[in-house]
Amino acid sequence: MRARLILGGLVAAVAAGGCDRPARVEPAPDRARVHAVSAVVPDATPVSAPVGAAVAPVAPSAAADWERFVPPFDAPTLAHVRELFARGAAAGLRPDVFAKLGDSITESGSFAQDIGHGWYELGAFTELEPVIAWFRRRGPRGRDENSFTRPSAAATAGWESGQLLEGGDRSPVERELQVMRGAFAVLMVGTNDAERGSAAVLATNLAAIIDRAERRGVITLLSTIPSHHGAETARAEARAINGRIRALAAARRLPLIDYHAALAALPSEGVSDDRVHPTVFVDHGDTRAAVFTEEGLRYGYNVRNLLLLIGLRRALDAVGAPYASR
């Protein structure tokens, strides 16, 4: 049986086929809304993309079609990532654990959790199975939790970037990194900064978050944010924020997941009718955020989950982790 998500409440319903699957719990405030975009291939009208960003493929047939949005590491980035990994290993960080840092788009049950529970459909991307197995095998609370499924203390609806740092050495970032003790962190924040803050302040805060991660030997995978479909001021600030994130990843020699660029050719740029949160694939009333078929990859959360796996694989390959041998 599959659980059906009804916005505003959680109701279990019986669907034909499938397996026993607990319902996803999604608190109502500032959450990703289920938005069933018409399942059609976008027309050939060009979609403007950020300067220097690749245009998203419409019908990918292999992971290589999407890897352009997680650029290969240049020599300085490779050296930096390996140096951080060595320091983290010496400090006892776990190479099969990552932390999630961000706002509601990271806190959402549609990000990563389906992967961790085994509710995924890889389609043409079967080469990512060893990455999933590597990060599913362990979490801070044993086998009942893993990096994908853990509710992060450093990802909360409505947060601006500065709120991840509140409390200094007892900040959400510090507490989550301490609990996870993982070699990696995935950081995406900025949507609320676009509404209430500025790109300049966000860049300062991101640098401070990276500083805290690197003092521990943690490798940060930086992600751009979706387009903002609200007021023009927020739209412009979101564009500036994405520019800052790309520049910061280059300057700090860190992996970049260019989520914004990957969404460019999706219907409504992969953004739901709330103008902020990504869309998600719904199959007969069942929210399925880790379906990586051609149809599933017309939706924002599905694309984010795919890019997460590609980014983690790049990082594992860079540091020589033996994930593929398991």
User: Whole-model pTM?
Assistant: 0.83
Say if 246 falls within a structural domain.
yes
Nearest by Cα to 193 from 203, 185, 182: 203
Q: What is the pLDDT of residue 310?
A: 97
Residue 197's identity, in one-letter code, is: G
Say if 2 falls within a structural domain.
no
d(CA 187, CA 209): 9
Q: What is the pLDDT of residue 132?
A: 98
Digit-by-digit pLDDT tens for the chain (326 residues) are: 333 333 333 333 323 333 344 444 443 333 333 333 333 333 333 333 343 445 544 444 556 779 999 999 999 999 999 999 999 999 999 999 999 999 999 999 999 999 999 999 999 999 999 999 999 998 776 667 999 999 999 999 999 999 999 999 999 999 999 999 999 999 999 999 999 999 999 999 999 999 999 999 999 999 999 999 999 999 999 999 999 999 999 999 999 999 999 999 899 999 999 989 999 999 999 999 999 999 999 999 999 999 999 999 999 999 999 998 66
Say if 225 falls within a structural domain.
yes
Say if 303 falls within a structural domain.
yes
Say if 104 falls within a structural domain.
yes
Cα–Cα separations (whole angstroms), residue 172 to 31, 102, 108, 188: 20, 10, 17, 14
Number of folded domains that form the chain = 1
CATH number of the domain encompassing residue 104: 3.40.50.1110
Q: What is the pLDDT of residue 142?
A: 66
88 contact partners, CB below 8 Å, separation of at least 6: 183, 216, 217, 218, 219
Q: What residue numbers bound the domain in which 101 lies? A: 52-325
Q: Which two tokens stand for residue 315?
A: 């990082």
Say if 35 falls within a structural domain.
no
Going by DSSP bridges, is the β-strand pair 94-102/9-11 parallel, antiparallel, or unpaired?
A: unpaired
CB 189 within 8 A of CB 101: yes
Q: What is the pLDDT of residue 143?
A: 67
b vs e for 167-193, b when ≥16 Cβ sit within 10 Å of the residue's Cβ? Answer: eeeebbbbebbebbbbbbbbbbbbbbb
Nearest by Cα to 303 from 287, 289, 315: 289
Say if 296 falls within a structural domain.
yes
Q: What are the backbone angles phi and psi of residue 11, rounded to the nearest 5°? A: -130, 130
Distance of CA 287 to the CA centre of its chain: 17
Say if 96 falls within a structural domain.
yes
245 contact partners, CB below 8 Å, separation of at least 6: 190, 203, 206, 222, 223, 224, 225, 256
